[in-house]
Amino acid sequence: MRLVVFLAACGLALGQPADPAYEPLSHAYQALRAKDYDTAIAGFLRAAQADPRRPSIRKELAYTYLKTGENELARDQFRAAMELDPQDTQVAMEYAFLCYETKEQALARRIFDRVRKTPNAVAEQAFQNIDAPLAQAIDRWKKAIEMGADNFSAHFELATFAEQRDDLPTAAEHYQKAWRLLPDRRSVLVDLGRVWKALGRTEDANAAFLAASRGGEPRAAEMARALLPARYPYVPEFRRAIELDPANLDLRRELGYLLLQMDREPEAEIEFRKIVELAPNDLVSVTQLGFLLYARGERTQAAPLFDRVLAGQDQDLANRVRALLRKPQLLQGGSQRAAGSVDAKLMAEHSLKAGYLYDAAKYLTMAHEADPADYEVDLKLGWTYNILHQDPHAFHWFDLARKSSDSKIKAEATRAWRNLRGSFARFRTSAWFYPIYSTRWHDLFAYAQIKTDLRTGTFFRPYISLRFVGDTRRSIGASFAPQYLSESSFILGAGVATAPWHGITLWGEAGNAANYLTLHMLPDYRGGVSVAEGVGHTLRGESPGGFADMTLDAVYFSRFGNDTLVYSQNRVGYTAGPKQFRVQIYWNGNVTIDSQRQAWANFGETGPGIRVSGSFLPPSMFFTFNAMGGVYLFRMGHLTGAAFTDYRFGLWYAFTH
């Protein structure tokens, strides 16, 4: 019977899952005994990560932090332990005392108040030590206000003490009174919003945060933005904030421009009228109100507003008004130029600088209508709509701008038009060519493809393709499947590919391969997935700097034993030099494997590389050199050695039409 009981106990013990925190805890306690607190902390942190639901680990970590003088870190760990085990009054007391020491008196009072009801004499005394002075201060400031001290300091101090004593209604009342007495102190709005949020008045709290985030103290604005929802405010939220802070001109102006972008001009006009009423010298709002009236045909009402702007010191705004009224422009120094399409361009330029892209598009359209031959306007319209993610419009304006006689405008517009054409042309033809010489194989290989695909308006694009894979030696040795390096074939096929999604493309095709050595034709089915990601400064980019890129391809070949080849190519380096002569210096890290585990096709390699390009070459053309050292992942059999060195010289060229 003893044997049976023993075996059953052993079975239960062996059946229990292993403690994931055992090993880091063992190291932590060992370091703690040796007073190696840094190592002990690291061990407890690993244990907490391995078993985040065990409060004892958090408690031990907190006490260890205390030994190193890290009181705030200890406080945070005691809080975590208390949340995991609310019944542990010792942990709650430790947390409350540390809150008090780290200037979080309101939180300390709250914890002591909860624990003293267990009952607990120490918690009772600690609670009274905090609560009694707060109560006395609140009574003192209330009496001062009753006796006539109705000023900012009195209300603010009363609100602060009331908040620390969890008297939130009193705190909210006096924070609001303090702010009304000194409305420029918008940090008080942040305090008011915090109290309203604690009271469950979320909409009022967000209104206070929004008002504090626009205008006023920079520090208050920063604190308020951190408390706002992680999205742009809605119109009703702006209106609630303005109701709370009606003198906030920045808030009203932003709402006005938001309404303009939403094509709600009558509502925007109300906001700009109020701004002009509150601040007659706000010439930006005066100008915008005048434009709204002028566009509605109320030119008589707009005239006094325009006169005010023309008499002001803001020459840019004055020129915008002159442009609308077809008056000569004032240049620096007081000279003038004729009005025309350039006038609306000035208005658009101001809108672009202010970030009002929809206004800029409207003004640029006016400039185009005034002078259809101004291709600079067409180019700016293209970029404006491109930024607004309205690429069909951008494509149209870039197409017009590339007819310019100005070589700079024409080149920029043509480049942008070509970048977008692939997305909007019904048929797109792309081609690439990559000859490369390898010292590993002592051979020159050539890879090329020309492909025409059809835009269907869906996620899929059907295509026809002609590939070429060949080499100069015609044979590398049939004993280890040379077809992956040189198929010596033209492959004609038809297939379908997905549009790139986060750098991922799926494709598949069916066709026939014609071997130009044997003149045999065989069916060819292939397909796969391609992943490409890159960050930093590209070879033909605008400026030099660091870069990194990665490509991962998995390709299935039916013609070679239904094999699948997977290869990953990774580079990290630096792009140097001017655009006229650009060099990339980088380090390679590549891995190639196949599903049939053929020795020659499973290897890793690494080494330095360089790419050279510049304005002396066509776009998308560059020279490459890579010095690679590699090792085979499986035994090589008849091949000599398990490692190799390879120097590769290549030329890449691609284009899309």
Average pLDDT, the chain: 83
Q: How does DSSP classify residue 647?
A: E
pLDDT tens for residues 296-355?
A: 888 888 888 888 888 888 777 787 787 777 776 665 544 444 344 445 676 677 666 656
Query: Rounded CA gap, 30 and 64, in Å?
Result: 13
pLDDT tens for residues 479-504?
A: 344 445 667 889 999 999 998 887 89
Q: Which of 182-186, 387-391, 401-405, 445-449 has the highest mean pLDDT?
A: 445-449
Mean pLDDT, residues 500-526: 86
pLDDT tens for residues 39-61?
A: 999 999 999 888 888 899 999 99
Query: Rounded CA gap, 449 and 431, in Å?
Result: 6
CATH architecture, domain 427-656? Beta Barrel (2.40)
Does pLDDT of 20 surpass 90? no
Query: Rounded CA gap, 540 and 262, in Å?
Result: 38
Q: In sequence order, what DSSP letters do the residues of 563-586 get, joined into one string?
A: EEEEEEEEEEEEEES-TTEEEEEE
| Of 240 and 347, more confident | 240
Q: What angle do CA 493, 495, 499 make, to 5 degrees?
A: 140
pTM above 0.85, yes or no: no
Look at 190-199, 304-313, 317-326, 571-580 and tell me which has the smallest mean pLDDT.
Answer: 317-326
**Whole-number pLDDT of residue 405:** 79
**Whole-number pLDDT of residue 536:** 85
Does pLDDT of 519 surpass 60? yes
**Whole-number pLDDT of residue 485:** 62
Phi, psi of 203 (to 5 degrees): -65, -40
Does pLDDT of 572 surpass 90? yes
Amino acid residing at 154: A
Amino acid residing at 298: E
**Whole-number pLDDT of residue 571:** 95
For 398, what's the count of Cα atoms within 13 Å in the CB-facing half-sphere?
23
Structure tokens at 417: 């038009």
Residue 197: in which H helix or E strand, if any? helix 187-198
Does pLDDT of 618 surpass 80? yes
